[in-house]
Amino acid sequence: MISNLEIPDPFQTFVAKKYANAKGYIYDFFTGEWSYKCLTCKEDMSAPSRKIMTKIRLYHTRNECTGGY
Ligand SMILES: [Zn+2]
Protein backbone atom coordinates (compact mmCIF):
# COMPACT_ATOMS: atom_id res chain seq x y z
CA MET A 1 0.00 0.00 0.00
CA ILE A 2 2.76 2.45 0.88
CA SER A 3 5.44 0.82 -1.22
CA ASN A 4 5.05 3.63 -3.77
CA LEU A 5 6.58 6.05 -1.28
CA GLU A 6 9.98 4.46 -1.77
CA ILE A 7 10.28 6.31 -5.05
CA PRO A 8 8.75 9.78 -4.60
CA ASP A 9 6.98 11.10 -7.62
CA PRO A 10 7.88 14.79 -8.09
CA PHE A 11 4.32 15.84 -8.71
CA GLN A 12 2.94 13.86 -5.78
CA THR A 13 5.61 15.34 -3.55
CA PHE A 14 4.63 18.81 -4.73
CA VAL A 15 0.96 18.18 -4.03
CA ALA A 16 1.76 16.70 -0.62
CA LYS A 17 3.77 19.78 0.35
CA LYS A 18 1.21 22.16 -1.08
CA TYR A 19 -1.57 20.63 1.00
CA ALA A 20 0.42 19.43 4.00
CA ASN A 21 -1.66 21.37 6.45
CA ALA A 22 -4.80 21.05 8.49
CA LYS A 23 -5.72 24.67 9.04
CA GLY A 24 -6.21 25.84 5.50
CA TYR A 25 -2.63 26.90 5.01
CA ILE A 26 -1.27 26.53 1.52
CA TYR A 27 2.41 26.30 0.85
CA ASP A 28 3.47 27.94 -2.38
CA PHE A 29 6.19 25.70 -3.69
CA PHE A 30 7.46 28.35 -6.11
CA THR A 31 7.70 31.40 -3.88
CA GLY A 32 8.39 29.44 -0.69
CA GLU A 33 5.65 31.34 1.10
CA TRP A 34 2.66 30.19 3.06
CA SER A 35 -0.72 31.62 2.33
CA TYR A 36 -4.02 31.44 4.10
CA LYS A 37 -7.46 32.66 3.24
CA CYS A 38 -9.58 33.73 6.17
CA LEU A 39 -12.70 31.58 6.22
CA THR A 40 -14.70 34.39 7.76
CA CYS A 41 -13.87 37.49 5.75
CA LYS A 42 -12.08 35.82 2.80
CA GLU A 43 -9.02 37.99 3.24
CA ASP A 44 -5.81 36.57 1.82
CA MET A 45 -2.72 36.52 3.99
CA SER A 46 0.79 35.31 3.34
CA ALA A 47 3.90 34.67 5.41
CA PRO A 48 7.45 33.41 4.91
CA SER A 49 6.98 30.52 7.31
CA ARG A 50 4.22 28.42 8.77
CA LYS A 51 5.02 29.67 12.26
CA ILE A 52 4.63 33.30 11.23
CA MET A 53 1.51 32.38 9.29
CA THR A 54 -0.03 31.12 12.51
CA LYS A 55 0.84 34.35 14.31
CA ILE A 56 -0.65 36.43 11.51
CA ARG A 57 -3.76 34.26 11.45
CA LEU A 58 -4.27 34.50 15.21
CA TYR A 59 -3.71 38.25 15.19
CA HIS A 60 -6.15 38.63 12.33
CA THR A 61 -8.90 36.53 13.89
CA ARG A 62 -8.49 38.18 17.31
CA ASN A 63 -8.11 41.79 16.27
CA GLU A 64 -9.40 42.29 12.77
CA CYS A 65 -12.37 40.13 11.85
CA THR A 66 -12.68 38.32 15.21
CA GLY A 67 -13.03 35.01 13.40
CA GLY A 68 -16.80 35.24 13.29
CA TYR A 69 -17.27 35.18 17.04
ZN1 LIG B 1 -10.85 37.48 8.58
- Residue by residue, pLDDT tens for the chain (69 residues) are 555 556 666 666 655 555 444 568 888 888 899 999 988 888 999 999 989 999 999 999 889 887 555
Give the pLDDT score at 15. Answer: 54
Give the pLDDT score at 6. Answer: 66
Give the pLDDT score at 29. Answer: 85
Q: How far is the CA of 33 from the centre of ligand 1 (A)?
A: 19
Give the pLDDT score at 65. Answer: 87
- Of residues 42, 47, 1, the one with CA closest to residue 21: 47
Q: How far is the CA of 9 from the centre of ligand 1 (A)?
A: 36
The count of C-alpha atoms lying within 13 angstroms of the C-alpha of 22, restricted to the half-sphere facing its C-beta, is 0
DSSP annotation of 46:
E
Radius of gyration of the CA atoms of the chain, in A: 15
Give the pLDDT score at 21. Answer: 46
Q: How far is the CA of 15 from the centre of ligand 1 (A)?
A: 26
